Structure 1
């Protein structure tokens, strides 16, 4: 992805200098174990109990490495591109103004109104404070351990969380949350799958809008990332037989197909997963 010329977003809250990284399993290792738990719906508590060794939190300010600084710059520029895109598309296609979210960068652990954030949660969006949360070491996990390499794979992660904010702005998150209250576990999971696939599709709409910044292979990187974090793929990677009733994000094929649909059509209306008979 061509970053030159992309405006850096100012809606970045960087908490990585404040310390708070746990000792023990630490760093990428923590995220590897827990990201699998998050995406696949697996209880990884036994793994953590066996791997952690008396966590200690530091209150000393951290000095960010050059790699961490690059990750922040990359995230800010991708976030800036989402602001440009949705500030245009929301009024044009949804008839309402766009209020951009804040992206919280953290290292190890942090807090949010939606609960504690750590490698266990993976990147996520909290509608309560309209902020997206990202431990930038997840980029390394995505490339090294999950096999989703390339800068546009990382950009897809940022765009996906921003897409959840778009859903929040449209009132979709609230509607799904309300519907989940009276649903069975399987029904609630099915609603969440439709929500996640819609976010994948909206990410594809964003990708088409920034097509001028794409380089050869970028689209393939995003599609590969979508496949690598499909519920069926992650459950197989964890040694489990895929169980569709536990899926919360969709299969690899579904995630890639809905992203491609958004990219090909460039219209928010193409992302109506809730009205689709086939996902």
Structure 2
């Protein structure tokens, strides 16, 4: 077992929500497999339609729910209906921060179910992470993740912070005003190049990316395999894992994507790619970030199956060896 203390508790402090994403994990085992016979294809982009696999082979190690039932029994997690429908006005300036927060929770709880099923299938402990949503007018102070003055809800970035002090799990930190701006294509202060392809999943892929960081941290701890991915690969593998999660969403068993959502994701990742050398904290060029996401979603040349985490580790985390 991991040395990290794991908790299911959810704590509300003022307007700042600490939500353990596995708070209802008693029903997680086997839910939302990464491959389902007869499921629809991952949504192609205009440039990648020909790259989508012609069938949906089940990724190695994925599972189905007990008895072969792929239903979660929680119909309120149709992502583009419970969260995005309520926040669609974010694009016109009529921002509903409560609905934006719910969308973040829905996406990340979904990611938790997807990755919990995979972790258990591999024989790893169930992954846990804490979501910190910084609400308007609030700030977060979390050592060592933020400065002593705190992080405001408009801070132009989102983070995964691996806090392992014996009392906390890793934290996904989402400034909610920053998240809401993504509906209009404003990704951390950079506007996407194609304004015709902006919307909710620009935010969704950033959330999935941050969860991807928690996946790598858990895998490193649970397997004892070090070092972690180096340089820009530590970001590209999170992009790739976001593609794995998007593949699962495309199956429609626990929430489905709308037409154009993949293009929104690619636009968002391209907008925050490195335009130069990336400096001391490289994240990958726009083309590299889009490619990493698509490897997770559609597969690689060596293994053209979508939703296979091993495609990501082989491409961006060779130190892991899996």
Q: TM class by shorter-chain length?
A: 0.5 to 0.7
CA distance in 1, matches of 2:212, 2:247: 14
Structure 1 pair 172/249, CA: closer, same or farther in 2 (3 Å)? farther
Give 2:293's match in structure 1, choosing from 230, 251, 259.
Answer: 259
Number of aligned residue pairs: give it.
Answer: 201
CA RMSD of aligned residues (A): 3.0
Structure 1 pair 244/147, CA: closer, same or farther in 2 (3 Å)? closer
Alpha carbons 2:125, 2:222 under 8 Å: kept: no
> 1:127 is matched with which residue?
162
> 2:51 is matched with which residue?
none
Alpha carbons 1:153, 1:221 under 8 Å: kept: yes
Q: How does 1:151-190 map to 2 (within 5 A)?
A: 151-171=200-220
> 2:107 is matched with which residue?
78
SS in 2 for 1:266: coil
Structure 1 pair 249/12, CA: closer, same or farther in 2 (3 Å)? farther
Structure 1 pair 254/229, CA: closer, same or farther in 2 (3 Å)? same
> 2:87 is matched with which residue?
none
Report the TM-score, using the length of structure 1 for normalisation.
0.63
> 1:6 is matched with which residue?
none
Give the CA deviation at 1:172: 6.7
Q: Residue deviations 1:63-83, cap 9 Å, x none?
A: xx9711011111111112112
SS in 1 for 2:131: strand
Alpha carbons 1:156, 1:222 under 8 Å: kept: yes
Alpha carbons 2:155, 2:175 under 8 Å: kept: no
Q: Residue deviations 1:209-233, cap 9 Å, x none?
A: 110201100111111111011011x
Alpha carbons 1:112, 1:126 under 8 Å: kept: no
Structure 1 pair 275/228, CA: closer, same or farther in 2 (3 Å)? same
Alpha carbons 1:228, 1:252 under 8 Å: kept: yes
CA distance in 1, matches of 2:240, 2:96: 30
Give 1:138's match in structure 2, choosing from 178, 201, 213.
Answer: 178
CA distance in 2, matches of 1:245, 1:174: 31
Q: Which of structure 1's runs of 4+ aligned residues deviate more than 6 A?
A: 172-176
SS in 2 for 1:254: helix
Whose helix proportion is higher, 1 or 2? 1
> 2:140 is matched with which residue?
110
Runs of 5+ unmatched residues, structure 2: 1-7, 17-93, 193-197, 299-305
SS in 1 for 2:127: coil
> 1:222 is matched with which residue?
265
CA distance in 1, matches of 2:124, 2:177: 35
Moved more, 140-149 or 200-209: 140-149
> 1:197 is matched with which residue?
236
Q: Residue deviations 1:142-179, cap 9 Å, x none?
A: 32342343111101111111111111110179989x85
Give 2:116's match in structure 1, choosing from 87, 92, 97.
Answer: 87
Give the CA deviation at 1:16: 6.5
Give the CA deviation at 1:244: 4.5
Give the CA deviation at 1:84: 1.5
